[in-house]
Amino acid sequence: MSTKNIDPLKHKTYFSYLKAKTKTQGLYKNVKNIYTFFQKYILVGRIIRFIRLFVLWLEAGAYFLLVVSFSVVVLPLLLIIIVSFHLHSAFIHRKMNKSFLKMIDGFNFVVIFIDSPEKADKQCDNSNICIYVLTNPYAKLTASPKRITENVFMINTNYFYSLKKHVLDKNKSKVIYVNLEDN
């Protein structure tokens, strides 16, 4: 077995270097010689071609089954989960909007935008309702508002837009917006 030194600088990629290195080894030459020996015989060549065709059909069938099972099982499940989450969120938002509308009398809303729950100081005077809007989309907060104290709530951004549309925009004179994200 003769091993020839391969110059790594003559190859553009690592793969081409490995390919050249493998070609100089005896095993590659032996396998190549055996393959060409079998190719000379028509029957063996046809058997090899049929085996390759059979493997290609098996791969195509496997891909087809994978795509069909994905589209029949996974996509409908994903769709059901997404729709049920949005329906649940809509009902929770409607219920919480009604509860905030009941709280409006005599109170001002202070809406404070924060990017992490640790920034919420949870201090609010009794004349205001503080709503901390968590702008981080990956925060661990559900669709429903989290009541921290009697007048302090923490909500996610998704619910904020529903609250703004149905409650805050109708009572603009009672709402103060504060952005603490940059601090």
What digits encode the pLDDT tens for the residues 27-49?
Answer: 777 677 777 777 777 677 788 88
Cα–Cα distance between 164 and 145 in angstroms, integer?
14
pLDDT of 1 reads 46
Indicate if the alpha-carbon torsion angle 164, 107, 133, 183 is positive or negative. Answer: positive
Single pTM value for the model: 0.52
Cα–Cα distance between 171 and 21 in angstroms, integer?
76
Percent of the chain with pLDDT over 90: 15
Who's near 142: CB < 8 A, 6+ residues apart?
Answer: 156
Residue 76 has pLDDT above 60, yes or no: yes
pLDDT of 30 reads 66
Q: Are 109 and 131 in contact (CB under 8 A)?
A: yes
pLDDT of 55 reads 94
Who's near 8: CB < 8 A, 6+ residues apart?
Answer: 17
Indicate if the alpha-carbon torsion angle 167, 171, 172, 176 is positive or negative. Answer: negative
pLDDT of 65 reads 92
